[in-house]
Amino acid sequence: MTFEGKYYNGRSSKGMPAQITLRPDGLRIDYSADEEVGAVHWETAGIHQSEFNDATTLLRYGKFPQQSISVVDKGFREALLQYYRGAAFLKSGYNSVLRLGTSGIAVMALSLLGLLVAFVIWGVPALADRVAMHFPQSYERQLGQQLYAKMLQGYQVDDEKTAALNEYLNTLDTGSDYPITAAVVTSDEVNAFAIPGGYVVVYDGIIDKMEHHEELAALLGHELGHVQKRHSLRALTRSLSYYMLASLLFGDISGVAAVLVDNASALRNLEYSRSLELEADQEGLELLRRNELNPQGVVLLMERLQRASESEMLTFFSTHPNTKDRIEALKKQIGESEQPYGEHPELEGHWEQLKAR
């Protein structure tokens, strides 16, 4: 089989009229232009991959500078596909996709969109959680320590209350994998927060509101629940992975760094998701049970804070939504299993100290 085309020798841009013959071991090209007449043989192994051809088929051969031929004849491509079936230079995954036609491509696009949505909704959080849970504890502790020190700079620490709170914590069986460091800071705000690695900051505004030490135990249990379940870290890896996905799709790496910096400073303001809050509530209840304290402490805490929130702006609640639902969930859990509870003189002693100051 012979086709008409143009031959370029790789040294000049002059297109020489050529006869191209398909042979078992390759192509034979006979060219002639003005005084220049000759023939070359292209072994199939040396022909470069040829994709995206249209009416014109373009083939390139050899090392730099490459020779090439261009044939304006659809029959040429068909003939190549028939004659050199399975040859490397004709293989192309992309070309086979292009042959699917419009409807095939549309189906592919839609299923891809579905896959992507599924990945974003379920895949990313699951992956991020796994990463967060495998983060070494020592690093987490180090990171937490820095954040803790940084955050305390903005507050006035009440040393005596802090000492009493830590006594209280030491007496309590927290069941935590982390050594716990807590501080009481002077503020009218009714708030408390946890920092990764076992750090807890309690505002004395919230202690003033409390009447029973079980409420404090419940609050500490809640915050230590955030620590134990690595909630901040999980939220951080989650938002980080979304940004990474976004920068992957839109090709912007610098966005990742922005998130890192943003999150480090605004960790406190992270909005814990509802499920994380419920999980922390459960941990709070768990702590009361472990110490054989009255489980109603959690409910008391919630109700008191809810009542207070009606008259005051409470930051504790602005980041912790759905108090009613939470109380309902807690009551249900308490009701399910009756467990003995009693007085705890030692804890109460530390509590008195804390309140007395």
Partner 1 sequence: MTTTLLEKEKQTTHFSFTGKGSDYFAIEIVNFLLTVVTLGLYYPWAKAKSLQYLYRKTELAGTPFVFHGTGKEMFIGFIKGVGIFIVLYGMLFFGLLTETPFIMVLSYFAFLVAFLVLVPVALHGMMRYRTSRTSWRGIHMGYRGELSDMITTYLVGFFLTIFTLGVYGSWFVVKLRKQMIDNVRFGNVSLRYVGDGADLFLINLKGYFFSIFTLGIYFFWYVKNVLHFYVNNIVVLQEDGTYSRLQCQVSGWDMLKLTVGNIFIIVFTLGLGIPLTTTRTMSLIMNNTVMSGDFDADALVQTEEAYDSAVYESMTDMMDIGVV
* Residue count, binding to partner 1 (CB under 8 A): 46
To partner 1, the closest distance from the beta carbon of 104 in angstroms equals 9
Of 113-121, 197-205, 216-224, 306-314, the window that binds partner 1 (rule: CB under 8 A) is 113-121
**Can you say how many angstroms the Cα of residue 63 is from the centroid of all Cα atoms in its chain?**
45
Which parts of 125-164 interact with partner 1 (CB under 8 A)?
Answer: 146, 150
Give Cβ neighbours of residue 174 (< 8 Å, ≥ 6 apart). 180, 220, 221, 224, 287
Q: How far is CA 94 from CA 50, 91, 105, in A?
A: 11, 9, 12
Name the residue type at position 197.
G
Q: State which residue, 68 or 232, has the beta carbon closest to partner 1.
A: 68
Is 68 one of the binding residues for partner 1 (CB under 8 A)? yes
To partner 1, the closest distance from the beta carbon of 256 in angstroms equals 8
Give Cβ neighbours of residue 353 (< 8 Å, ≥ 6 apart). 164, 167
Report the DSSP pairing between strands 36-43 and 56-61. Answer: unpaired
To partner 1, the closest distance from the beta carbon of 107 in angstroms equals 11
Which member of 66, 145, 171, 319 binds partner 1 (CB under 8 A)? Answer: 66
Q: State which residue, 137 or 146, has the beta carbon closest to partner 1.
A: 146
Is 65 one of the binding residues for partner 1 (CB under 8 A)? yes
To partner 1, the closest distance from the beta carbon of 123 in angstroms equals 10
Which member of 24, 93, 154, 342 binds partner 1 (CB under 8 A)? Answer: 93
Residues β-bridged to residue 157: 185
Which tokens belong to 313? 């702006």
To partner 1, the closest distance from the beta carbon of 248 in angstroms equals 5
R_g over Cα of the chain? 36
Is 121 one of the binding residues for partner 1 (CB under 8 A)? no
To partner 1, the closest distance from the beta carbon of 125 in angstroms equals 16
To partner 1, the closest distance from the beta carbon of 31 in angstroms equals 13
Is 13 one of the binding residues for partner 1 (CB under 8 A)? yes
Residues β-bridged to residue 192: 202
Which tokens belong to 307? 């009542």
Which parts of 235-294 interact with partner 1 (CB under 8 A)?
Answer: 248-249, 251-254, 256-257, 260-261
**Whose CA is closest to 352, among 218, 160, 222, 97?**
160
Pairs from 258-267 (Cβ < 8 Å, separation ≥ 24): 263/236, 263/239, 264/147, 267/147, 267/195, 267/232, 267/236
Which tokens belong to 81? 């596909």
CA distance 95 to 53: 9
Which tokens belong to 148? 């803790």
CA distance 238 to 232: 10
Is 353 one of the binding residues for partner 1 (CB under 8 A)? no
Q: State which residue, 10 or 321, has the beta carbon closest to partner 1.
A: 10
Q: Which residues bind partner 1 (CB under 8 A)?
A: 8-15, 51-52, 54, 56, 58, 60, 63-68, 70, 93-94, 97-98, 100, 102, 105, 108-109, 112-113, 116, 119, 146, 150, 248-249, 251-254, 256-257, 260-261
